[in-house]
Every structure is written in structure tokens, then in C-alpha cells.
Amino acid sequence: MQAEVTRHGHSQLEAAMAHLSDLIGFDTTSAYSNLEIISHIETFLTHWGCETTVLPDTSGNKANLVARLGPKDVPGIVLSGHTDVVPARPASWASAPFTMEQRGSRLFGRGTCDMKGFLACMLAAVPAFSQGQLSRPFYFCFSHDEEVGCQGAPAIARYLAALDTPPALAIIGEPSEMQLVTGQKGKVAMTVTVHGDGGHSSFAPQHVNAVEYASRIIEMVSQRSRRYEREGPFDHDFTVPHSTALTTLVEGGIATNVTPDTCRFTFELRSIDQASAEADMQALIADVEQALLPEMQRQADKAGIEWRELFSYPAMSDASDTDIFKRIEPILPDRGGKVSYGSEGGVFEIEGGIPSLIIGPGSIRQAHKTDEFIEIDQLSQCLTFFDTLNDWMRH
């Protein structure tokens, strides 16, 4: 912990650590329900006077939570984070991933950094937020399934947009080392299934080898990525200053002596603006089909290429020119540029018309890793920011 006693004091920092320990104890891997953690958070927020709304998904196994503290007829500020985490393989961890463990100045556990550390700071700050009169409301938002394509956030954004007085700004607590992030790339993830014509491998020249054609498409994805690196467009505020394309999963073939008739792979496009992500995906599909489909179907009529979008989320544009940003800028942390990882900021902007920023504790370099951790000092810095924000919300 910091030697210096900050305004929020050690007691609030200890509260954040206790909340984080509780939150880590819920295995909210995206494949599982998050209803227990939502109930836990709602109970705490209700105790401190928040008006809460649960937004279940269509399955009934997942839910978002929106809580308001303060007046409802004034544009407020959203503090938002996701409750789900990526999978963890316990055998590869030095400690149990769903039990928080402190080692020196670090807190270990799945989600400590991405992004239950921010959620814990939100909860630890609520008692201070609830004291006295707020001039503007806080909206505390907790989403499901961000890690598998920002599936929960659209419902939150639409709910907020439909309020008589929608919020003015959203602060997304993705790990940014408590620096201000003003932009985030959009992403489209696609699964491609190549249908060939198989048989005994001794007759291979007479077949359409699905694995080989898949490899040619994968090479075209790679060529597009290399073109981005050479030709842009570029925005050097991003951690990676151009769009990227990457194949991430491949599966095909059944035996060494069978020409494979099916191959499936997944790839992604990350773009510095959402319009180019969608346009680039359509251009890539057109290029692939023009180059390969005639050749495949001359050999076998049934050969083809099937495209299925797994998910997409929009880019978050720079909110620096908005009136709310200019008003709140004096209390914001130092700028840290723009990021290539995804967040729900673009969803709030596109679905809800709410300008968004990213400010959160922890380093994205620790996210999704074995032995994920967050520095305790990052929680302290987040609480200090919340102290300053609390003052601003009262003037």
C-alpha cells in the first residue's frame, strides 16, 4: 500500500480490496451465469440508497444492472464495467484463480485487472458518493458478456438513452493504468467454413482440399494486415496506429489419408473506425470469392465458402470536442492516447448517444493472462479520482 495517507484513507482502500476479494470469488467466466454477482452488487447498492434496475437477457441466465444515485432530472455521469471474465486454467496458476491472493503490492486473481478492480473501487466509493446532495446523478452500470462481443452493453445503452434525462458522459473502467483514453478500435470477428470435396488422399488432384483453400484465404487475411501496416490509414494516438487482421483459430481434416472436405477458421479485423471495419470485411469477402470460388467450383459444384459473423462492436470515437468533456477535462487524468483493445465505450456512443471515455485501474498487459494481477496502488489512484469526481458532481 502507499505510505502516504490519501484523502480516501486506508479504510476506503481496504474496503476496495475487500470488495475485490468478494467479486473475484464469483466465477463469472462468460460461459456461466452472472446472476449471483449481480444480486450481490444490487444488495449492496440498494443498502446505500441507489435506485436499481435489473435488465435480464432473453435466456434468463444473464443480466445487466443499472443503479442511479442522485437526481434523475439532470444529465449525469455513467461509471460502467463488465462482470464477466475470460476462462482460467487453475492448474497453470500459482494460486486459485477465483480466490484473491495478495503477494506484496499485488492482488492476484482472474478479473483483478480486467475489470473487477474498477468495480470494487466503484463499490468502495459509493458510501462517500451517497453523503449529502449530488448536483448530478451517478449511474453505476454492470454488464454481462463483454468478453464475448459486448453482448450485454447495448441493452444498458438503450435503457439509458430512453430515460427522460439521459446521462451526459460514460466512463468505462477498462484497465488504462488510470490514464485517460479517448479512442478505441472497432472489431468484427468472422468464422469461415470452407466446403470442399474429399475422398481418399491418393486421388487428391481430383478433390477440392478444404484445408488448402482455407490456407489461401488465411494468407489473404495476412496480406491485408501487412497492407494496413504499410499503407494505413494511420492514427498515431493508438497503441497500434493502424488497423489489423489476424487469424486466431483453425480446425480441419480427419485423417492423414483423407483429403479434407471441410475446414473452419476464425479471424478478426480491428479498425481505427467502425465504418472501415465493416467496409474492409465486405471488400475482403468479395476479393476471396472472386479469386477462389470459380476455381473451387470448376472442380466440384458443391464446393463453397460460408461466412458467419461471430460478433462485432463499434469503435469509440474521440469525445474531446464535446461540451461535457470540456467541462470535466480539468479533473481528468493525463491522456494516454487511444487503445487497440475493445471496450463498451463505442456501444454507449452508438446505441445510446452517450460520449464515452476509458479510465480504469490496472494494465491491459495483465489482462487475460495466467496469474492476472493488479497493483494496489492502481486501486488507490482510482479511489483518488473518484474523490475528485465526487466533488465535481456536487458543484
**pLDDT, average across residues 269-282:** 82
pTM for the whole thing? 0.89
- Which pLDDT value is given to residue 2? 36
Phi, psi of 195 (to 5 degrees): -100, 115
User: According to the model, what pLDDT value does residue 1 have?
Assistant: 32
Q: Which pLDDT does position 4 carry in this prediction?
A: 37
State residue 74's pLDDT score.
Answer: 97
3-class SS at 207? Answer: coil
Indicate the pLDDT class of residue 394, thresholds 50, 70 and 90.
very high
243 φ/ψ angles, rounded to the nearest 5 degrees? -70, 160
Q: Does position 221 have pLDDT exceeding 80, yes or no?
A: yes
pLDDT for res 9? 55
Residue 22, pLDDT above cutoff 60: yes
pLDDT at 3: 34
pLDDT, residue 358, reads 98
Query: For residue 140, what pLDDT band results from cuts at 50, 70 and 90?
Result: very high
Question: How confident is the model over 203-213, as pLDDT tens digits?
Answer: 999 999 999 99
Q: pLDDT at position 10, please? A: 61
What digits encode the pLDDT tens for the residues 361-381?
Answer: 999 999 999 999 999 999 999
Q: What is the mean pLDDT of residues 144-163?
A: 96
Q: What domains sit in the chain, N to C, each tagged with a CATH number?
A: 9-183+316-392 (3.40.630.10), 186-312 (3.30.70.360)
Residue 282 has pLDDT above 70, yes or no: yes
CB 223 within 8 A of CB 157: no
Q: Find the distance separating the first CA and the last CA of the chain, reported in whole Å.
A: 31
Mean pLDDT of 28-48: 98
Grade residue 6 by pLDDT with cuts at 50, 70 and 90: very low
Spatial contact of 143 and 37, defined as CB atoms under 8 Å apart:
no
Confidence band for 17, pLDDT divided at 50, 70 and 90: very high
- CA count, 13 A, side-chain hemisphere, 204: 11
Measured CA to CA, the distance from residue 50 to residue 58 in angstroms comes to 25
pLDDT of 117 > 70? The answer is yes
* Whole-number pLDDT of residue 239: 85
178 preceded by cis ω (within 30°)?
no
Quick one: what percent of the chain has pLDDT higher than 70? 97
pLDDT of 7 higher than 60: no
Tell me the three cell numbers of residue 333.
Answer: 487524468
Residues facing residue 199 across a β-bridge: 259
Q: How far is residue 351's CA from residue 9's CA, in Å, rounded to a whole number?
A: 38
Give 39's contacts (C-beta < 8 A, 6+ positions apart): none
- pLDDT tens, 291-350? 999 999 999 999 999 999 999 889 999 999 999 999 999 999 999 999 988 899 999 999
Average pLDDT, the chain: 94
